Every structure is written in C-alpha cells, then in structure tokens.
Structure 1
Amino acid sequence: MAKRRPTSSAQAGTGSSAMVDRPSPRLRAACGLWHRGRQSDATALFAEAIRQEPNNVQSYVVAARAYGERFHFDRMEQTLQKLVRQAPRHPGVHHYIGETYGSLKLPERAVASYEHAAQLPGAGPPTWMELASLYERAHRLDEAEALIERAVRSGYDLPLVWLIRGRIQRRQKQLEKAETAFRTVIERGAAHPDWACEAWSELALMKDAQGDYDGAIEAIAECQRSQRSREAVHLAVSEKGFQFMQNLVDSISRDDFRRWRDEAAATVPERVALLTGFPRSGTTLLEQVLDAHPDLVSSEERDFIGNELLRTMTTHRANKPILEVLRELEAPQIAAERQRYFQSMEYLLGEPIAGRMHLDKNPAYNLTIPLVLRLFPEAQLLVALRDPRDVVLSCYLRYLPLNAVSVRFLDIRRAAERYALDMSAWLKFREMIEAPWCEIRYEDTVSNVENQARRALETLGLPWDAQVLNYRQRLTETKQVTSPSYEAVIQPIYTKAIGRWKHYERIMEPALETLEPFIREFGYD
C-alpha cells in the first residue's frame, strides 16, 4: 500500500479537544535509540513520552509502530490499548490504529479500525478513502465506490480519490473512464509523487492488456522517471545489503549446512517450509493453492528472518561477517528465536498454527536461505521458477514503493542483475543443502495446477487433498491477499502472461545477456 497523507488532527470527535497530534523531540530521540538497537533506553523514553504528554496521540502511535516494526506485538497492542482508553471516541485515534495495522499487512484488522473510526462523530474523508482503498483490495468494489462518492460530495478532491476510482473502473472494464481518472491523478500529482507513479503504472498495465506495448513502455518510463529522482538513498542501502549477503553466499560451504543440521538433531523438529524464488515468479499463486490444504497455513511475506532475525543477530556485531555470526549462534539463542518466530507468525495470522505445516512465503528470500536453515535446519524449500525474461519484465513494468529490493527494478539491466544474484545463490545452495527442496515452474502450474500441487505437497510431506483446487473460493470469501498480485490471483488461471517478454524485445535487449545462463539452466531456451 502506498504511503498516505498523515491523519489530520482535524478529524476530531467527542472529547477530542483534549487530544493533540504533534511530534516531539522526546519521540525523535526515542526512535533514534530504537533504530540503533538500544531498545531498553528507547522503551524507557517512549514510556516517559506517554507520561509527559498523555494527550498527544503521537506519544502512543510512534511507540506502537516502533514495537510492531520489531515484532514486539504484545507491547504494541498494550500501547494502542492505552491510546484507546485515553480517547475512545476520537476518530483520529482509530484511524491511526488502522494505519498501524495496515503497515503490518493486517487488512482485516485495519478495516475494522477504519470502520470504527468512520462511525464516530467527526470522522471525515481521510478515513473514508483509506477504507475505500482496503475495500477495493478486498474486492468490495460497490462499497469502495460508495465511500469515494461520499468523499467527493464532501468536497474532498485529493488525487487518491481518482486513483482508487480508476482502479475500480478498470476492474469493471470501464477503460476510458479509468484512463481519465488515472490522468487526473497525474495532472494533480505534483505534491503526491507516489500517487502519480501508481497512476502511470496503472496506465502501463492497461496499455499492456490492450496490446498497446509502446504505450505501456512510455507510461512506465514516466513512473520510473519520478522514482529515480528519489532512488539514491535506497540504492545505497541496496548496495550495502547486497554486498553483505553476497559475502555470505560466497563463503558458506556444504559443511556449514551439514553441521547446522547435525546440531539440531536433538531439537524437536518443527513443521516449517519456505516458499521463495524471485518476485513475480508465481509465488502468490502457489502459496494460495497450498494454503487451502487443511494441514498447512501460510504467512505472506512476513520478513522475520531476513529483517528481524538478521538485525537481532548483527546488533553490536556490525564488523563481523554474517557467516561468522551464524556459526557462533548457540542453541539457547536459536531456541529463543524459533519460539519468537512462531509467536510472531501466530499473531500475524490471527490464529494458532496448532501443529500444521507453516509455509513462509517470501519471494525475495533466496539470499536468506542460510539464515532460514540456521534457524530451521529441518525446513523444506519450494522454489518458484518462471521464464527469467517474463520475471524481469514483470518487475520492471509494475510500480512498487521504493525500498532496497524494488529500487533495482527501475532499470531493466539492474533488474536482471538482481535476478542473477538471487538465482545464482539458489543454484549454489541447492548443490549444498540436505533439506528437501523442489522447483515449481509457473508455466507448469498454470498448465496443470493439480500436478504441481501434488509435487509441492509431496516435498512438504503432506498428503494430497482436493481442497487445494478450490483455493479461489477461499480468496473471494474469507482470505485477503496483500501482495501486488491480489487482483490477479482471484481470477481463473490464465496463460496469457507466458512469453509476454516477446512484446517488449526492444527494452529487454540490455537484460538478455545477463539472463541467458538462467534461461538455459531452467529450461527456457
């Protein structure tokens, strides 16, 4: 979800005059300590902020989001509950809570908070529009449109109105109206570059679907032109992080994987698996198929191992190679992190795992496989494959908020280089690891989903269950997908995306030499 404008404290309700909404030096200092790994000091300062400014919404929200970012969900919930007790009928309070859940990819909880806010006196268009955005992603298009119309009637006219309306119109095949809406976002988007970028990306995907491939290229180029003006910081982080992980890929050995597996022999094994590959390789489709199995539950892109575990392990060890850190981990620390992992996943799932196989779906986790197998040497691996040319093109054509991964997709050559880095790591690891693994090709899945589901379930040690073939029913009735594929995955399986790169050969040319070894290796030549 794109970043939205901060909630206005003007969204006031009963008793709201006692509440303020402002940053403070104390909170900035606490955040600085938190991000430097000084959690005890930061926690004390967050608590002091609440004591000193109990009527400042930010005292609670900033602390809660810091806790959530580091998977301290009990502390996050306690802080949010304090805020609700302080101002139970302040719509802005519940709006902020909705934003907090949204940032954690908890759409059902975010919707509940926004709906609560919307029912309170003083609620206004910012809440209605966030709710409309979530309704659209949940395929509740009529309800989303009703909220948009309500916002427009109130005089609210930010570009977000037209962005969400355009998406709804595109999905309803009102393509001329959708294009007009997206171009309205672009015309008014100077102060909101992310919304304008999303609109350009929507136009690119529309043009692609209509067979106007030159139009798609022109539209995505406009999106990327804006993003490139803000890429420097993300590129620097990306370069540093990739070099850090490349050192791990280069230095790890078969003996490391074997030793970790032997060390874990006395540990009670957990039922856990990783689904990875590369973004836009069909991981979402495969995950949703498998998640319909009654003895499996999946977590969608919860970055505990590659983010939280990595930060925990390297805090105060910044100068040590990551492989050395992994080798030095002792059994009690590993046991504690395994427990914290499952506690975190159960919170995010909103239900106990209860002995089921837990499938951790993270498409950008190839480089992280050593961390996964250090924490869970007993894990099984599923690796999604797709024609590398289609993968890189799909990454290039789609808007994603800038981060250390997506910044690589603003240039077709850089996207191919990132693909090569990740898939080279997998080719090395698969020759070393003893964990069960299976490669699942997207093209084979859309051709015969049952066959590929059987292969995956066999690797996971699960029996066949025909419920996996009814995965679309669950997606439209009970489960919401938070990945960029949320719209496509509810559609009947289609093959039109296979070979899509051939329509874009003129922009793919700089990537082909880099991708050639993988095209051959994975059988796409």
Structure 2
Amino acid sequence: FERMAKDAPRSARALYVALRDRRAVAGDPVVQSLLALADDLPRLTRGERIFVHFALGKALAELAEPEQAFAHLVEGNALRRQEIEYDEGLVLGAFDRIRSSFAGALPPARPILGAPPVKPIFIVGMPRSGSTLVEQVLASHPLVHGGGERTDFIAAMRTVGLDSAPGANFPDTLAGSTPLEIRALGNDYLRRVSAAAGEASFITDKSTVNFTAVGLIYMAIPGARFIHCLRDPIDTCLSCFSKLFSADVPFAFDLGELGRYYAAYERVMAHWRDVLPLGAMLEVRYEDMVADLEGQSRRILDYCGLPWDPAVLDFHRSGRPVRTASLRQVRQPIYRSSVGRWRPDEAVLRPLTEALKGLAEETSAPVG
C-alpha cells in the first residue's frame, strides 16, 4: 500500500491503508497527497471522501493538529453514517429485554460429560476498551491459544435453536428453552473452540459483543471465565469515533448514538454484576493495565487459574495474527498516549456527554 500510495497518489483507499498501521511524520508524502485530495473533495466519490477524512483524522492528530483532525473525523463519520442501516430502538430495546430475561441469581452451568477439556476465557466490553491488549497478554502465555474475535457462541446458539426461530431473536428465544438445550449449547460451543485451541488448555474469545450473553454463557459453559475490559467512557467513545469500522459496529458514527449505546451497554454490565456470584467476572481497567502491566497481568492470570509466566509482559513480541483496529498498538511495548486523549470543546462533544450524563451514578459498583 505504501508503493501504491506513491504510484497512485489519488487513490484514497491506498493512502488511507498506507497510514492506518503506522504513524504520520512531518513532511509525510502520504499526508501531502491526502491534503491535495482534501482540496478537491467535490470530484471524489462519497467512499473516497470517507477514506480521506478518516486518514487525515488520524494523521493530523499524530502531527499535533487535533482540532483539524477532529473536524475531518466529524465529516468522515457523517458520510459513513449515511451508508449504515442502524435501528437504535431495536438494539437498545433488546438490551433492556436481556436484563429482564436474566433476573435474579443465575443457575451455574452443570458439568458436561465428555466435554472437551479446553477452558474458554471470554473478553467482553466496548470496542477500543483495551480488549486486544488483554488478549495479547493472555495469548503470550504458553497454555493459552489466542482465539480472537470468534463467532462460535452465536453459531452454537443457532444450532440449538436459540437464535433461529422465524422472527425471533435473543433474548426472546430464551423463554422456551429447556435445561437440556442450554447444556447442548455449552457442549456445542466447547466442541467448536476445542478444535481451534489445538493442544492449548485455554482459549480466548474476544468477541466483545458477547457482553450481551454473559448470563447465558455462565448458565451454559462450566468454568467459563469473563474479563470485562473498561476504559474511561469518553476516551472509549472518541477512540471508536476515530476508527473507520465496518457495518458490524453501526453505532459508532454519530456521537449521540455512540453515547446512548455506551450507556445501554454499561447498564447491561451493571446487571451482570448484580446477578452473577461475586468473583465470577473480573473487571480490568485499561488505565490500570497501562500504569501497572505486571500487576494487572498477574491479577488476570490468577483469576483464570494460570501460573505466572514472564512471557506475558512481552506481548508485543508475539507473532500471532491480530485482526482488530488495535493491530499497530499491540506490536509495541505498553504506552500511555491513549490515556486522557485530547478532547474537542464542550459544544462539539455535547451529544456524547449528554448521552453519558448520570452514567456513573446509575452503574457504579466495585470492580472485581
């Protein structure tokens, strides 16, 4: 892509990808080509304009021009939002029904005879909350296979009919399920991830959207571990807003929608804190990981039942593939530049802050 950007300086996509995985530097020819395209936006397609705005949003932030960078992100997100189908009421309504469907203390999963011995570690939370860092630490342990963003639990749900009835979706399909179906769900999931884990005793599952199914996973999979990754809400949301996500993250392109999604997600997580036994879920703050990598890594390994291994501190040396928006960061040692990131003025940020208002009071709980 670097060669492509040099040979075809008007290829917006090539310029975007060339900068995506490295830092912009002063006098960067890729940035110069992007600025030239930005002066000629009317002649570009909407898709090309999106690439230009997101690339300049990243590059100008790295070149210490945050106001201009954020202006490009606002334009790029607005254009991308026009391409996305997102029914906010449907999504947030499902979150409310999840909380209603898992009321009271949850029954733990019963042992599954003949189940594969692999132990899953579910890493859940919002995108851009530090989940890739947590997974890289775990995946650097010799007993752990880094599974990445897996779809096995959704596939297992469909296999047992919990997400496949015509016109019905989780959690609505849960009402008619039997204990036998819940056990079959857990067995099917373990069979799927066991094949991926190979000889490893543990496998991570970093599909962060599994936060919606924590209660069901707890009831279906004996010994499942849950690591909830948290980060400052505004830092999390602004980091999401800076990334050109696929349609799988449809809530990230409007600050108001992003804030409302975050608030609804936190209400779901507060509910799991209430209904799960103490110690069933470990909460890890990104800021604490950055400040004390070894201390937090020991805490994570202890929770998972893993012996200490210093290899986890060299997570950036791992050769495993990383396929998330954090792929550049996890190839570097721990760094602090993402903590307390630059924020636009209050007027620009108001749709987000209004959506997040009162969140701390609503969801406050001790971190496990």
Normalising by structure 1, report the TM-score: 0.61
Map 1:9-24; keep pairs closer than 5 Å: none
Q: Relative to 1, partners in 2 of residues 1:327 and 1:382: Cα closer, same or farther, differing over 3 Å? A: farther
CA distance in 2, matches of 1:301, 1:345: 12
- Determine the structure 1 residue equivalent to 2:174: 325
Q: Relative to 1, partners in 2 of residues 1:190 and 1:341: Cα closer, same or farther, differing over 3 Å? A: farther
Q: How many residues align?
A: 360
Whether 1:397 and 2:242 are equivalent positions in the alignment is yes
2:120 counterpart letter in structure 1: V
SS at match of 2:219: helix
1:451: how far off?
0.5
1:148: how far off?
6.6
Q: Relative to 1, partners in 2 of residues 1:301 and 1:502: Cα closer, same or farther, differing over 3 Å? A: same
Whether 1:409 and 2:214 are equivalent positions in the alignment is no
Give the share of equivalent positions with the same residue, in percent.
21
- Determine the structure 2 residue equivalent to 1:160: 13
* Structure 1 range deviating more: 309-318 or 487-496: 309-318
CA distance in 2, matches of 1:326, 1:223: 42
CA distance in 2, matches of 1:265, 1:345: 17
- Determine the structure 2 residue equivalent to 1:205: 58
Q: Relative to 1, partners in 2 of residues 1:416 and 1:480: Cα closer, same or farther, differing over 3 Å? A: same
Check the 8 A contact 1:293/1:467 in 2, yes or no: yes
Q: Relative to 1, partners in 2 of residues 1:202 and 1:172: Cα closer, same or farther, differing over 3 Å? A: closer
Check the 8 A contact 1:207/1:216 in 2, yes or no: yes
Whether 1:512 and 2:353 are equivalent positions in the alignment is yes
Whether 1:358 and 2:211 are equivalent positions in the alignment is no
SS at match of 1:464: coil
- Determine the structure 1 residue equivalent to 2:94: 244
Q: 2:310 aligns with which of 455, 466, 483?
A: 466
Higher relative contact order (CA 8 A, sep 6+): 2
Show structure 2 runs of 5+ residues with no match. Answer: none
Between Structure 1 and Structure 2, the one with more helix by share is: 1
2:127 counterpart letter in structure 1: P
- Determine the structure 1 residue equivalent to 2:290: 446
Check the 8 A contact 1:166/1:177 in 2, yes or no: no
Q: Relative to 1, partners in 2 of residues 1:172 and 1:314: Cα closer, same or farther, differing over 3 Å? A: closer
How big is each residue's C-alpha offset from its partner over 1:73-94, in whole Å with a ceiling of 9 and x where there is no partner?
A: xxxxxxxxxxxxxxxxxxxxxx
Whether 1:279 and 2:153 are equivalent positions in the alignment is no
Tell me the C-alpha RMSD between the 2 structures: 3.2
Whether 1:494 and 2:335 are equivalent positions in the alignment is yes
1:191: how far off?
6.9
Show structure 1 runs of 5+ residues with no match. Answer: 1-131, 133-144
- Determine the structure 1 residue equivalent to 2:224: 379
1:276: how far off?
0.8
Check the 8 A contact 1:249/1:367 in 2, yes or no: no
- Determine the structure 1 residue equivalent to 2:164: 315
1:295: how far off?
1.2
Question: Which aligned segments of 4 or more residues in structure 1 are displaced greater than 6 angstroms?
Answer: 188-191
CA distance in 1, matches of 2:37, 2:218: 45
Q: Relative to 1, partners in 2 of residues 1:479 and 1:368: Cα closer, same or farther, differing over 3 Å? A: same
Structure with the greater alpha carbon radius of gyration: 1
Q: 2:103 aligns with which of 248, 253, 258?
A: 253
Check the 8 A contact 2:16/2:52 in 1, yes or no: yes
SS at match of 1:359: strand
Map 1:93-172; keep pairs closer than 5 Å: 132=1, 145=2, 152=7, 158-167=11-20, 171=23
CA distance in 2, matches of 1:502, 1:162: 26
Map 1:50-89; keep pairs closer than 5 Å: none
Check the 8 A contact 1:162/1:184 in 2, yes or no: no
CA distance in 1, matches of 2:298, 2:338: 23
SS at match of 1:510: helix
Check the 8 A contact 1:213/1:504 in 2, yes or no: no
- Determine the structure 1 residue equivalent to 2:266: 423
Map 1:293-304; keep pairs closer than 5 Å: 293-304=141-152
